[in-house]
Chains A and B, each alone.
Chain A
Amino acid sequence: MGAGAVFAGPAGGPLHLFTKSCMTREAVLRLSGITKRFGPLVANDAISFELMRGEVIALLGENGAGKTTLMNILFGHYVADEGAVEAFGAPLHPGDPKAALAAGIGMVHQHFTLADNMTVLENIALGTAPLWRPRLDRGAARARIRALSADFGLSVEPDATVAALTVGERQRVEILKALYRDARILILDEPTAVLTPGETEALFRTLKLLVAKGLSIIFISHKLAEVMAVSDRVLVLRAGRLAGERVTASTGRAELAALMVGQEVVSPPVPAMRSGTPLLVLSEVSTGGRGTGARLNRVSLTLRAGEITGLAGVSGNGQSALAGVIAGTETLTTGEIEIGGTVVSAWSPREALRRGIGRIPEDRHAVGTIGDMSVAENVISEQYRTARFARHGLLDWAAARAFAEEIIRDYDVKCPSPDSRIRLLSGGNMQKLILGRALDPKPRIILANQPTRGLDVGAVSYVHRRLLEARERGAAILLISEDLEEILALSDRIVVMSRGRLSGASARGERTIAELGELMAGHQGEAA
Chain B
Amino acid sequence: MRLEPKPAPSLGVLLLYPLGAIAATLVFVSLLVLAAGASPFSVIWLVAKGAAGSQFAALETLTRATPLIFTGLAVAVAFRAKLWNIGAEAQLYVGGIVTVVLGTGALPLPQPVLLPVIAIAAMAAGALLLLGPALLKTRFGVDEVVTTLLLNFVVLLFVAMLLEGALKDPMGLGWPQSSKVVADAQLPRIVTGKRLHYGFVLALAAAFAIWVVMKKTVLGYEMRAVGHNPEAARFAGIPVDPVLMKTALLSGGLAALAGFSEVAGLKGNLTLDLSPGYGYSGIVVAMLAMLNPLGVVAAAIFVAGIFVGADAMSRSAGVPSYIADVVVATALLTMVTAILLSRFRVRWR
Instruction: List chain A positions with a Cβ less than 8 A from chain B.
Output: 38-39, 79, 94-95, 327-329, 348-350, 352-353, 359, 361, 366-373, 377, 381-382, 384-385, 390, 393-395, 397, 421, 423-424
Q: Count contacts between A and B, CB distance < 8 Å.
A: 72
Given contact pairs A39-B4, A366-B229, A371-B228, A359 touches B235 in the complex (Cβ within 8 A)? yes
Does B315 sit at the interface, judged by CB under 8 A?
Answer: no
Q: List B residues 207-247 near A (Cβ within 8 Å).
A: 216-219, 221, 224-225, 228-229, 231-239
**Chain B nearest CB, measured from A35 CB (Å):** 15
Complex contact A424–B235 (CB within 8 A): no
Please, which residues of chain A bring their CB within 8 A of the CB of B232?
Answer: 366-370, 381
Please, which residues of chain B bring their CB within 8 A of the CB of A361?
Answer: 235
Complex contact A373–B216 (CB within 8 A): no
Which of chain A's residues has its CB closest to B238's CB?
A381
- Which of A38, A39, A390, A421 is the one whose CB lies under 8 Å from B8? A421
Q: Offer 7 A-B interface pairs, CB within 8 angstroms, sorted by A.
A: A353-B237, A366-B232, A369-B229, A377-B224, A390-B218, A397-B216, A424-B5
- Which of B4, B228, B349 is the one whose CB lies under 8 Å from A370? B228
Which of chain A's residues has its CB closest to B236's CB?
A381
Cα separation A120 to B205 with both chains bound (whole Å): 60
Please, which residues of chain A bring their CB within 8 A of the CB of B218?
Answer: 384-385, 390, 393-395
Please, which residues of chain A bring their CB within 8 A of the CB of B231?
Answer: 366-367
Does B7 sit at the interface, judged by CB under 8 A?
Answer: yes
Cα separation A34 to B7 with both chains bound (whole Å): 26
Taking A385-B218, A397-B216 as given, write out 19 further A-B residue pairs in contact, using a Cβ cutoff of 8 Å, ordered by the A residue number: A95-B349, A327-B235, A349-B237, A350-B237, A350-B239, A366-B229, A367-B232, A368-B232, A368-B235, A369-B229, A372-B229, A373-B225, A377-B225, A382-B237, A393-B219, A394-B216, A394-B217, A395-B221, A424-B7
Cα separation A118 to B7 with both chains bound (whole Å): 40
Instruction: List chain B positions with a Cβ less than 8 A from chain A.
Output: 4-5, 7-8, 216-219, 221, 224-225, 228-229, 231-239, 349
Cα separation A351 to B231 with both chains bound (whole Å): 17
Complex contact B235–A370 (CB within 8 A): no
Which are the 8 A-B pairs with shortest beta-carbon distances?
Answer: A350-B237, A381-B236, A349-B237, A370-B229, A372-B228, A370-B228, A79-B349, A367-B235
Which of chain A's residues has its CB closest to B345's CB?
A39
Please, which residues of chain B bring their CB within 8 A of the CB of A373?
Answer: 224-225, 228
Please, which residues of chain A bring their CB within 8 A of the CB of B234?
Answer: 329, 349
Complex contact B235–A423 (CB within 8 A): no
**Chain A nearest CB, measured from B202 CB (Å):** 22
**Chain A nearest CB, measured from B99 CB (Å):** 29
**Chain B nearest CB, measured from A73 CB (Å):** 12
**Chain B nearest CB, measured from A451 CB (Å):** 15
Given contact pairs A329-B234, A367-B235, A369-B232, A384 touches B4 in the complex (Cβ within 8 A)? no
Complex contact B235–A377 (CB within 8 A): no
Please, which residues of chain B bring their CB within 8 A of the CB of A94?
Answer: 349
Complex contact A384–B5 (CB within 8 A): no
**Chain A nearest CB, measured from B5 CB (Å):** 7
Cα separation A393 to B228 with both chains bound (whole Å): 21
Complex contact B228–A348 (CB within 8 A): no
Which of chain B's residues has its CB closest to A368's CB?
B232
**Chain A nearest CB, measured from B63 CB (Å):** 34
**Chain A nearest CB, measured from B216 CB (Å):** 5
Most A CB atoms within 10 A — which of B4, B221, B224, B235? B235
Cα separation A395 to B5 with both chains bound (whole Å): 29
Cα separation A353 to B239 with both chains bound (whole Å): 13
- Which of B217, B233, B237 is the one whose CB lies under 8 Å from A395? B217
Cα separation A372 to B227 with both chains bound (whole Å): 10
Given contact pairs A95-B349, A373-B224, A377-B221, A329 touches B216 in the complex (Cβ within 8 A)? no
**Chain B nearest CB, measured from A361 CB (Å):** 6
**Chain A nearest CB, measured from B230 CB (Å):** 10
Complex contact A349–B235 (CB within 8 A): yes
Most B CB atoms within 10 A — which of A95, A369, A381, A424? A381
Cα separation A329 to B225 with both chains bound (whole Å): 17
Cα separation A373 to B221 with both chains bound (whole Å): 10
Please, which residues of chain A bring their CB within 8 A of the CB of B8?
Answer: 421
Cα separation A373 to B223 with both chains bound (whole Å): 12
Please, which residues of chain A bring their CB within 8 A of the CB of B225?
Answer: 370, 373, 377, 381
Given contact pairs A79-B349, A370-B228, A377-B221, A423 touches B237 in the complex (Cβ within 8 A)? no
Please, which residues of chain A bring their CB within 8 A of the CB of B239?
Answer: 350
**Chain B nearest CB, measured from A393 CB (Å):** 5
Cα separation A348 to B232 with both chains bound (whole Å): 14
Please, which residues of chain B bring their CB within 8 A of the CB of A39?
Answer: 4
Please, which residues of chain A bring their CB within 8 A of the CB of B5?
Answer: 423-424
Please, which residues of chain B bring their CB within 8 A of the CB of A384?
Answer: 218, 221
Which of chain B's residues has its CB closest to A328's CB?
B237
Cα separation A514 to B235 with both chains bound (whole Å): 36
Complex contact B349–A348 (CB within 8 A): no
**Chain A nearest CB, measured from B14 CB (Å):** 14
Complex contact B237–A348 (CB within 8 A): yes
**Chain A nearest CB, measured from B141 CB (Å):** 13
Cα separation A286 to B4 with both chains bound (whole Å): 42
Cα separation A423 to B344 with both chains bound (whole Å): 13
Please, which residues of chain A bring their CB within 8 A of the CB of B217?
Answer: 393-395
Which of chain B's residues has its CB closest to A372's CB?
B228
Which of chain B's residues has its CB closest to A396's CB?
B216
Cα separation A348 to B236 with both chains bound (whole Å): 10
Please, which residues of chain B bring their CB within 8 A of the CB of A95?
Answer: 349
Please, which residues of chain A bring their CB within 8 A of the CB of B233?
Answer: 370, 381
**Chain A nearest CB, measured from B176 CB (Å):** 44
Please, which residues of chain B bring their CB within 8 A of the CB of A397?
Answer: 216
Cα separation A393 to B238 with both chains bound (whole Å): 14
Which of chain A's residues has its CB closest to B225's CB?
A370
**Chain A nearest CB, measured from B249 CB (Å):** 15
Complex contact B229–A371 (CB within 8 A): yes
**Chain A nearest CB, measured from B271 CB (Å):** 40
Most A CB atoms within 10 A — which of B217, B218, B232? B232
Most A CB atoms within 10 A — which of B4, B218, B236? B236
Cα separation A366 to B236 with both chains bound (whole Å): 12
Cα separation A381 to B230 with both chains bound (whole Å): 12
Which of chain B's residues has its CB closest to A79's CB?
B349
Which of chain B's residues has its CB closest to A327's CB?
B235
Cα separation A350 to B236 with both chains bound (whole Å): 7
Cα separation A385 to B224 with both chains bound (whole Å): 15
Please, which residues of chain A bring their CB within 8 A of the CB of B219?
Answer: 393
- Which of A38, A349, A371, A424 is the one whose CB lies under 8 Å from B236? A349
Cα separation A183 to B126 with both chains bound (whole Å): 62
Cα separation A1 to B237 with both chains bound (whole Å): 39
